[in-house]
Chain A
Amino acid sequence: QSVLTQPPSASGAPGQRVTISCSGSSSNIGTNTLHWYQQPPRTAPKVLIYRNTQRPSGVPDRFSGSKSGTSASLAISGLQSEDEADYYCATWDDSLDGWVFGGGTKLTVL
């Protein structure tokens, strides 16, 4: 069982907006910045959102992140078929003295 809780799956039709939640505690999300990673099938993860809300260069503005208290969300608008992937949230945990990941959310574009 992961320290950070994500829904195991999410789905939406092309063009729709989907949100993926990530829930933690005061020792991780409540205190530290959170990052989101995208992992298409059979490839290594790549960062999608860093420091809660920032997009690296090259990531479309269809992707956005937010954080409030001990929870965070990733929103994807204008859903496209290439967005089908697994999505993970990650942050540092002060109690565990290590990085923690969410269990991952598999996004299906209908």
Chain B
Amino acid sequence: EDQVTQSPEALRLQEGESSSLNCSYTVSGLRGLFWYRQDPGKGPEFLFTLYSAGEEKEKERLKATLTKKESFLHITAPKPEDSATYLCAVIYGGATNKLIFGTGTLLAVQP
């Protein structure tokens, strides 16, 4: 079955404590992997798109990487304002625009 799994479900970090979030996928013909940030009660905010294994993207304290089976979102020296739910989604296969979303990782960064 085509699916996207994110781990851990929740993560609590101290300010400045770096860590990584994981997104593993089992789909055929990956066309793109997307990372989003979602704050409570708001729509997801687009962060990154990764298209092929080995690709990396960076934005401030966030760095996303992609392998053939998974993606990591590395958070370096996080701040409390980085607290949010981080969602991963993939688009794959033939002529379709459909995304499959993971259930997200809830990140809490304590001062």
Decide whether A and B assemble into one complex: no
| Chain A contact residues, CB within 8 Å of chain B | none
